[in-house]
Amino acid sequence: NAGVMQNPRHLVRRRGQEARLRCSPMKGHSHVYWYRQLPEEGLKFMVYLQKENIIDESGMPKERFSAEFPKEGPSILRIQQVVRGDSAAYFCASSPAAGHGDSYNEQFFGPGTRLTVL
């Protein structure tokens, strides 16, 4: 049973380029979350998506960042015109449900994409 898949695992971009990070949730999971872990900082929520819907993007920077989860294919986190401060580990998590006070909202994390901006 495959877990959450993310690719690429490592991504190097020069300032001003675009970074595109992909995430496929666990089988049977329809809720996807993106988190960012900056060097020496904790994990921070960015965005929560379901198929074709952005439910909560309150943790995403207002500019340059966008996310989608199309009907077909993986969820994409897109960072335009990257800057050095975007260098971080980006983790995707998925769960079978959300908002319930039970095991259905347990979030399982993928291996992450480590973005380095030169």
Partner 1 sequence: QKEVEQNSGPLSVPEGAIASLNCTYSDRGSQSFFWYRQYSGKSPELIMSIYSNGDKEDGRFTAQLNKASQYVSLLIRDSQPSDSATYLCAVTDDYKLSFGAGTTVTVRA
85 binds partner 1 (CB under 8 A): no
Q: How far is the CB of 94 from partner 1 (least distance, A)?
A: 11
Torsion-angle region of 78 (φ positive above 0: left; ψ -120 to 50: alpha; else: beta): beta
| Stretch of residues binding partner 1 (CB under 8 A), selected from 19-27, 53-61, 62-70, 72-80 | 53-61
12 binds partner 1 (CB under 8 A): no
> Which is closer to partner 1, CB of 22 or CB of 59?
59
Classified as helix, coil or strand, 72 is coil
What phi and psi, each to the nearest 5 degrees, are found at residue 71? -60, -40
Q: How far is the CB of 81 from partner 1 (least distance, A)?
A: 27
95 binds partner 1 (CB under 8 A): yes
30 binds partner 1 (CB under 8 A): no
Q: Is 72 buried (19+), middle (13-18) or exposed (0-12) by CB count in 10 A?
A: exposed
Among 59, 78, 87, 116, binds partner 1 (CB under 8 A): 59
Q: Give residues with Cβ within 8 angstroms of 63, minimum separation 6.
A: none
